[in-house]
């Protein structure tokens, strides 16, 4: 089973790019972030025509997440990250697909640091830790993937010294990441490529893609049941070079049956 995550940066504005990528790579499951569209403007018809079933949780202008499945049925498990009834941002979706609990998330960016947005990021991370612990206790195969808006280590940043006070690389954000992973999760891409420079995001500014000035912020976390099944992982780097592309690349893993 091939599972992908892709921050599409506007599901309608960049729909041709999404459809071209789905047609080319045909992932079994695709987790999308930053739909930037309310529920009623989700392009279901085009996605069904591309061969996918979908569950989604949209929001006007910002955020929004979706999970697509080609072959298997999708059973939605939840669309809210527990822990804050006042949080109305659409950033979290859980679905059961082919016996795997798939979590699609769009973690808050958190800039500027310091400030209320950074505080929101950390509190969101704390809520995620709680939910992730529950998921581990289910003893079922779980994949948590999406745009975590965190570069875990220096190898994940083209110029680490420039990013020390950015919310994506602040020590608090990285600590939160490692606390989460420390529960017993495996960073799938790093498991297969411990030392390789791998980027999943390139800013629109200053020709970041052409200069390979990237970040690794889109991740897959696997529960123990799935680690022995991890067959391959990669980044569809070339998609970032397409016209009207998102600033993120699709990232994927392949699991043995």
Partner DNA sequence: ATGTCAAGAAAATCTTGA
Which stretches of the chain bind DNA, using CB under 7 A? 9-10, 12-14, 36-38, 41, 60-62, 108-109, 111, 117, 204-206, 244
**Tokens of residue 47, six digits:** 């996605």
* Smallest distance from DNA to CB 104, Å: 16
* Closer residue to DNA, CB minimum distance, 27 or 64: 64
> 147, 156, 166, 218: which one is catalytic?
147
Any catalytic annotation for residue 147? yes
- Give me the long-range contacts of 211-217 (CB less than 8 A, separation at least 24): 212/158, 213/158, 213/159, 214/158, 215/151, 215/156, 215/157, 215/158, 215/168, 216/151, 216/152, 216/156, 216/157, 216/189, 217/147, 217/148, 217/149, 217/150, 217/151, 217/156, 217/168, 217/248
* Closer residue to DNA, CB minimum distance, 10 or 152: 10
* Smallest distance from DNA to CB 44, Å: 16
Close Cβ partners of 238 (under 8 Å, ≥ 6 residues apart): none
Close Cβ partners of 228 (under 8 Å, ≥ 6 residues apart): none
Close Cβ partners of 189 (under 8 Å, ≥ 6 residues apart): 198, 216, 219, 220, 233, 235, 251, 253
* Smallest distance from DNA to CB 10, Å: 4
Any catalytic annotation for residue 166? no
* Closer residue to DNA, CB minimum distance, 14 or 219: 14
> 92, 106, 113, 199: which one is catalytic?
106
* Closer residue to DNA, CB minimum distance, 18 or 100: 18
Radius of gyration of the chain (CA): 17
* Smallest distance from DNA to CB 183, Å: 26
Which residues are known catalytic residues?
106, 147
């Amino acid at each position: 089973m091939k599972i992908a995550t892709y921050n599409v940066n506007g599901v309608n504005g960049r729909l041709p790019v999404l459809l071209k990528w789905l047609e080319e790579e045909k992932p079994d499951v695709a987790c999308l972030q930053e739909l930037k569209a309310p529920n009623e403007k989700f392009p279901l018809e085009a996605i069904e025509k591309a061969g996918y079933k979908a569950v989604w949780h949209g929001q006007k202008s910002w955020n929004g997440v979706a999970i697509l499945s080609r072959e298997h049925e999708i059973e939605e498990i939840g669309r809210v990250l527990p822990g804050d009834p006042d949080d109305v941002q659409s950033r979290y979706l859980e679905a059961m697909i082919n016996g795997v609990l798939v979590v699609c998330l769009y973690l808050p960016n958190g800039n500027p640091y310091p400030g209320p947005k950074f505080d929101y990021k950390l509190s969101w991370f704390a809520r995620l830790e709680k939910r992730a612990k529950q998921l581990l206790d289910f003893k079922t195969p779980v994949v948590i993937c999406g745009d975590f808006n965190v570069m875990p280590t220096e190898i994940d940043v083209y110029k680490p010294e420039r990013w020390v006070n950015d919310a994506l690389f602040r020590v608090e954000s990285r600590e939160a990441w490692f606390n989460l992973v420390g529960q017993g999760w495996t960073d799938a891409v790093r498991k297969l490529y411990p030392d390789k420079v791998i980027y999943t995001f390139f800013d629109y500014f200053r020709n970041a893609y052409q200069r390979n000035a990237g970040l690794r912020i889109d991740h897959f976390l696997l529960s123990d049941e799935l680690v022995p099944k991890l067959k391959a992982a990669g980044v569809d780097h070339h998609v970032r070079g397409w016209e009207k592309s998102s600033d993120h690349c699709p990232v994927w893993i392949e699991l043995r049956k």
